[in-house]
Amino acid sequence: MAPPLDFHWKRSWRAGPFGWALDVLLVSLTAEVGEISALLASAGHRIVDAIVQRRDRPDSRTFVGRGKLDEVQARVDAGGIDAVVFNGELRPTMHYQLERDLGVECYDRLRVLLELFAQRASSREGKLQVELALLQYEVPLLREWIHEADVGERPGFMAGGELRVDAYYETVKRRIKKIRDELEAIRRERAVRRSVRKERGYHLVALAGYANAGKSSLLNVLADERVLVDDRMFSTLATTTRSLTGTRKRILLTDTIGFVDGVPFWMVEAFNATLEEILQADLVLLLVDVFDSEDEIRRKVRLAARTLFPKVPADSVRPVLTKADLLPESQIAAKAQVLGESEFHRTPIAISTRTGRGLDELRDIIGRAFAYPIEVHLVLVQDAEAGGKLHWLYERTEVVSAVHTPDRIEVVVRCRPRDRDTVERLGRVLLARTLE
């Protein structure tokens, strides 16, 4: 019997934020199960058992070999298993075969990720991105289920089931188009805001890095905010932008979704509106958890390089080792060396949001990245236009000092090269120089 047309919605959302925890059997082709275990724990599920079969690539039909599948079947039959999670990607044919044979729901790594995203999505943008990704993930699965069931029931390829598939696909295609249109509108609005900010002299710093690297914690400290901080992965799905405190410069910090390895293009595309905040930033702070192993740091940095290059210049990325309070200095130095020898070729700064270590130095690094290179000493005539000119200077430059007298205003400003001519036309220039 083919599944009903609301198959997608039942499967996608039933274990959402108001769903329930599942007792799962984890099946992997490698003993390295730390990340999938963290994802499952973050989604609220419990791993009650794990089965590992070491092999170079999944079986084309059943992921594991037939003998190992019998072992999986026996464990499911023994009871206490709500779902089987495969640490890899299940193609639609695999998914159908496994659920038919095992008699329980089967998840792959992407399905766990999407469920986790669905639980975390709170903003309109986040919910749209998750829904788009879920639709793109589950449509091939639904098609396989309907195809396999209908072929077995009636003669002829897709006989009797094709109309249902077509009707469902038309509905899904219209919904996907609507979501993409809405996300494109959000992207355009964000691009306009970025343009306005840049025109007004704001600089954007993106906090980037792997999931759970400490981005939200750093935003809270640098911007004096109270953004949600959660040890579970992907607590941030939509961007949050706040002003850097403790500086006269107009610097905005943006907390972004964490990087994740091994996802297909369509999933990256669904979250493109969020990733654009990183790609369009003036400075990217690449956060790396100091507690990760050296191999794990290399893996995560390679992922960051693939995500950022070539759209982000290498000199716009500054590596940062987070949670430096967790390790002794010798181990921190070893991790810093690994990071310094990575694709970004820059010595990282080690920080701790708990102890405050390195935060003043990090603030100084951010400030120097946006130092205006030209200083102009200017005299404005105290007339009807003086107020508007002074307002423009405060909006577009860094005003170092402004001394008011009855007939004039002596102003010292620092500005960008592109604004120099405009600044000098506002009044009489006493001195203009390039800062070293």
75-91, pLDDT tens digit by residue? Answer: 999 999 999 999 999 99
**Mean pLDDT of the region 337-349:** 90
From the CB of residue 232, how many other CB atoms can be counted at a distance below 10 Å?
16
* Statement: residue 266 has pLDDT above 70: no
Question: Average pLDDT of 148-159?
Answer: 46
**Domain at 201-369: CATH architecture:** 3-Layer(aba) Sandwich (3.40)
Q: What is the b/e burial string over 52-65, where b = at least 16 CB atoms within 10 angstroms of the residue's CB?
A: bbeeeebbeebbbe
DSSP-based three-state secondary structure for 66: helix
CB 289 within 8 A of CB 320: no
* 378 — pLDDT class (breaks 50, 70, 90): very high
Q: CA dist 309 to 326, 344, 352, Å? A: 31, 10, 27
Question: Can you name the residues that pair with 431 across neighbouring β-strands?
Answer: 377
Q: Given a cut of 50, is residue 6 above it in pLDDT?
A: no
Q: CA of 371: how far to CAs of 21, 170, 189, 246, 296, in Å?
A: 51, 54, 28, 15, 35
Q: What is the residue-wise DSSP string for 98-160?
A: HHHHH-SEEEEHHHHHHHHHHHH--SHHHHHHHHHHHHHHHHHHHHHHHHHHHHHHSSSTTTT
Q: Which CATH number describes the domain made up of 7-120? A: 3.40.50.11060
* Cα 52 from chain centre: 30
Residue 190's Cα: distance from chain center in Å?
16
Nearest one of 62, 36, 66, 60 to 50, comparing CA atoms: 36
H/E stretch holding 206: strand 203-209
Q: Which of 228-237, 322-331, 401-410 has the lowest mean pLDDT?
A: 228-237
Average pLDDT over residues 139-146: 76
What does the alpha-carbon distance between residue 221 and residue 230 come to, in Å, rounded to a whole number? Answer: 15
CA angle 279, 281, 286 (to 5 degrees): 80
What is the value of pTM for the model shown?
Answer: 0.69
